[in-house]
Structure formats: C-alpha cells, structure tokens
C-alpha cells in the first residue's frame, strides 16, 4: 500500500521505531538513522547477559528497514539528515524537541527544505506545555501519568508495572495512523504537515471511556476485585481443570437464563433475586459464588461447549504460550514469519503489524538490518562520492 514512499526514521527504543515498522510492513522504504553504537534496544538481551544474532525485541520494530549510523552531534552528520529529509515523504522522530531545534532538524527547518514532508514527532508528553522536553517512557508517560496505573488496580493495592513496550506499541499504532492521514492530505494538496503523537495522549485515549466519565461527572468508580463485580456475568471464572474463562454480559437481562443453563442451574432462571440486573448487583457475592460453583463442575473444554451452546460471549484467559499455538492467531494473520538477521534464509515467528489487508503483501519485507549495514548505499544515493564517504567513515561521522 505504501510502496514508493520514503520514510526517514530518526528514532531509538520502541514507540517511534514501532510506527516505522508498521509503515515498512505496508511497503514503505524506511531508512533508520542510528547513533554511533546503534539503537540501544540492540543491546536488550546483551544487557541481561545473553548475546544473540536474532533479537526478537529489536527485530519486531525494525524488520525490513535500512540502517545508517550517523553522528548527529557533528555539523556534517546533521547535514546528512537534512539531505535525506529533503526528498523524503515522511520524517519520523522521537528525539526531544529542544535537541531537534538546536540541530536544525525541527519541523520548521525541514519543511523549508521539503514542503511536502509529513513530519511525525513522537514524544512523551507532546510538543507544548511545561513537560514538552521531559523524557518519556511508556511506564511513566503512558501508564503512570495518565492514571492508568492507578485505575487498573483494586482500591488500596500497590501499583504494578505494565509489560514491555505495551504503551509504546499502542502509541506506534496511533502515530502510523496519523502519518497515513497526513500522507493523504499531502498527496491531495502537495503540502505536508506536522503530526504530533505522544505516549501521554495515546494513554488517555486508550482508557478514553473511563476518562470521559471522569470529565463529565467529576468522578470515576474504582476497579473492583472479581468478587465485587456489579455485573457478575461479566467476570472471570475457573474451571475444574484450573483454567480461567472470561465471560461477558450483553446489555440488559438477556444472559441470565443462558448462564443458568450453562452452569446447570436452570432452577435459578426465574429466581426473583436474580432475574433483573439490579437484583444481581444487590446479591453480587451470592451470584458470583453460584457461578463459581457451576464452572468448577466442568473442564475448560466442557464449559466452552456449554457457553457456546447457550450463545454466551466468552474467551479463554490464555498464557502467551497458549496464544502462540492458538489457531485463531494464525488464521487472523497475527503471527508472521520474519527473516532472520543472520541472512541465511531462515525465518522465525513474530507478531504481525496491527492491520490486515487481505490479498496484499502486508507482512515483513526483510530482516532487521545490521548496524550501519546500508550506510554506504544510502550516502551514495545522496550523490556523495566514494572518496568522501570513506573520509566520513574514517572520521566516524558515519559508520
């Protein structure tokens, strides 16, 4: 879908490179500008004592890209970035605004060179306000500052960290969507624009229903434990063979009788205490105990069949090991084969980008690049001769 588009990615870590990976999967030519020594995420496993050629964390965000290492603390290095941006379609960065302005790689500077450039700035907190230059990480900006860390725990319990790059990749999706919208405008008008994505804003949108309630009513209910759910049918229940199942109630009272049938308690279908949502809320502890007892009589497979037979919405609470074998994950295209960075033609399973385009080549376009693997090629494409390229390599301006 994006074949022929040139994307310059001046970014490290995960959120912005994740957006670049989505664009690369969709066909864009993505040139990744890395600092001397490479993107720090290349050392993700080395930092815990394991050194691998294939690094699934780095590879996931950087497959199919070209890599050029540039020392952008030098004037010549900054000029290389400006040359790359001068004929690009997209410039994607997570460098803090102050540093970009000082080096002449801010939006205004690059727009003066390339009016059609779509310039995406991905930061912790946005481009305005007192925290515009504050470092952003998903556990801080997306998880903690937004209130998600407090809202996801039952009242009185201690906060816990989110899993690796959860907020980063939510923001990657937002940034990729914004870039694509701006590209449509640029193709229509010939003018690019600034696209601003932030971990903070993406986090607020991700829990937007709760935030909307807070903004409208001035308060929000706390998260309850599973024995205190005001809609007992929407809950988690454990089967006889120790598997958890998530059940979901539709609006109104339509699911009470089917649930009674599923747990083999049809005698409660017309119990006046439970037939209405208000009564089930008033007797929530008793209802949950009844459903607990019902689920405990059956294995997961048996309970799954009973829930399906009664047209109840449910899902297994799976481990990632189970998800990795889930046939629906493969049927949905959520797992793809990524070429190994070893360059030997082998592949391994990895997560797909978040949107499928049936009939199109929307998967990995190649392995993640080695550090600086394409430096000579990219510099030559800018019209720099081999003698000058070697001089810059010798001076460590590029690598």
Residue spans of beta strands (DSSP E) within the chain: 6-10, 29-34, 66-69, 90-93, 118-123, 194-198, 235-238, 244-248, 313-316, 335-339, 347-351
Token couple for 193? 């624009």
Token couple for 237? 């229940």
Token couple for 91? 């410039």
Asked if 32 and 20 count as a contact pair (C-beta separation under 8 A), the reply is yes
SS3 129: coil
Pick the CATH number of 6-208+362-395 from 3.40.50.10860, 3.30.2130.30, 3.40.50.10540, 3.40.309.10: 3.40.50.10540
Token couple for 98? 């102050």
Distance separating alpha carbons of residues 158 and 160, to the nearest angstrom: 7
What is the bridge-based pairing of β-strands 244-248 and 29-34? unpaired
188, 185, 199: which is closest to 121 by C-alpha? 199
Decide whether 6-208+362-395 matches 235-317 in CATH topology.
no
Q: Exposure of 18 by Cβ count < 10 A (0-12 exposed, 13-18 middle, 19+ buried)? A: buried
Q: For the domain 235-317, what is the CATH superfamily, name and number?
A: formyl-coa transferase, domain 3 (3.30.1540.10)
pLDDT at 235: 98
Distance separating alpha carbons of residues 9 and 229, to the nearest angstrom: 45
Which residues, 6+ apart, have CB-to-CB distance to 179 below 8 Å? 19, 23, 90, 92, 118, 120, 195
pLDDT at 46: 72
User: What is the chain's pLDDT, residue by residue, as a tens digit (399 residues)?
Assistant: 999 999 999 999 999 999 999 999 999 999 999 999 999 999 988 766 555 668 999 999 999 999 999 999 999 999 999 999 999 999 999 999 999 999 999 999 999 999 999 999 999 999 999 999 999 999 999 999 999 999 999 988 999 999 999 999 999 999 999 999 999 999 999 999 999 999 999 999 999 999 999 999 999 999 999 999 999 999 999 999 999 999 999 988 999 999 999 999 999 999 999 999 999 999 999 999 999 999 999 999 999 999 999 999 999 999 999 999 999 999 999 999 999 988 889 999 999 999 999 999 999 999 999 999 999 999 999 999 999 999 999 999 999
0.85 exceeded by pTM? yes
Token couple for 65? 């890209």
Residue spans of beta strands (DSSP E) within 35-117: 66-69, 90-93
Q: How far is CA 187 from CA 18, 87, 149, 193, 367, in A?
A: 24, 14, 40, 11, 30
Distance separating alpha carbons of residues 27 and 92, to the nearest angstrom: 16
Query: Helix and strand tally (H, E) in the chain?
Result: 17, 11
Domain boundaries, the chain: 6-208+362-395, 235-317
Distance separating alpha carbons of residues 200 and 271, to the nearest angstrom: 47
Q: What is the CA radius of gyration of the chain?
A: 26
Distance separating alpha carbons of residues 9 and 29, to the nearest angstrom: 10
Residue 156, phi then psi, degrees to nearest 5: 90, -10
Distance separating alpha carbons of residues 343 and 282, to the nearest angstrom: 62
Q: How far is CA 382 from CA 16, 128, 313, 318, in A?
A: 24, 34, 56, 50
Distance separating alpha carbons of residues 260 and 280, to the nearest angstrom: 13
Q: Buried b / exposed e across 295-305, counting CB within 10 Å, b at 16+?
A: beebebeebbe
The 8-class DSSP code of residue 369 comes to: P
């Amino acid at each position: 879908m994006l074949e022929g588009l040139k994307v310059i990615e001046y970014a490290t870590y995960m959120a912005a490179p994740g957006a670049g990976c989505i664009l690369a999967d969709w066909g864009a030519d993505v040139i990744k500008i890395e600092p001397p020594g490479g993107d720090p995420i290349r050392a993700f496993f080395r930092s815990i004592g394991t050194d691998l050629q294939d690094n699934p964390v780095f590879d996931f965000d950087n497959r199919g890209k070209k890599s050029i290492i540039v020392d952008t603390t030098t004037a010549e290095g900054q000029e290389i970035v400006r040359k790359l941006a001068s004929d690009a379609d997209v410039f994607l960065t997570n460098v803090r605004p102050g540093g970009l302005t000082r080096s002449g790689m801010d939006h205004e500077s690059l727009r003066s060179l390339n009016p059609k450039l779509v310039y995406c700035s991905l930061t912790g907190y946005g481009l305005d306000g007192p925290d515009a230059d504050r470092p952003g990480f998903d556990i801080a900006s997306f998880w903690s500052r937004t209130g998600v860390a407090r809202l996801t725990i039952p009242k009185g319990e201690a906060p816990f960290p989110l899993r690796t790059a959860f907020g980063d990749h939510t923001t990657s999706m937002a940034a990729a969507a914004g870039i694509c919208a701006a590209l449509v405008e640029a193709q229509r008008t010939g003018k690019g624009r600034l696209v601003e994505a932030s971990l903070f804003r993406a986090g607020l949108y991700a829990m937007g229903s709760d935030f909307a309630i807070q903004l409208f009513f001035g308060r929000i209910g706390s998260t309850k434990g599973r024995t205190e759910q005001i809609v007992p049918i929407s809950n988690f229940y454990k089967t006889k063979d120790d598997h958890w199942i998530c059940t979901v109630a539709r609006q109104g009272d339509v699911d009470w009788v089917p649930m009674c049938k599923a747990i083999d308690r049809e005698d409660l279908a017309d119990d006046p205490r439970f037939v209405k949502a208000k009564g089930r809320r008033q007797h929530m502890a008793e209802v949950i105990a009844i459903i607990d007892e019902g689920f405990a009589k059956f294995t997961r497979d048996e309970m799954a069949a009973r829930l399906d037979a009664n047209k109840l919405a449910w899902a297994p609470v799976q481990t990632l090991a189970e998800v990795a074998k889930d046939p629906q994950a493969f049927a949905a295209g959520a797992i793809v084969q990524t070429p190994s960075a070893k360059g030997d033609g082998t592949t391994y399973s990895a997560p797909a980008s978040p949107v499928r385009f049936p009939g199109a080549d929307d998967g990995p376009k190649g392995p993640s690049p080695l550090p600086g693997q394409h430096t000579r090629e990219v510099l030559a494409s800018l019209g720099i001769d081999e003698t000058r390229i070697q001089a810059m390599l010798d001076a460590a301006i590029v690598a």
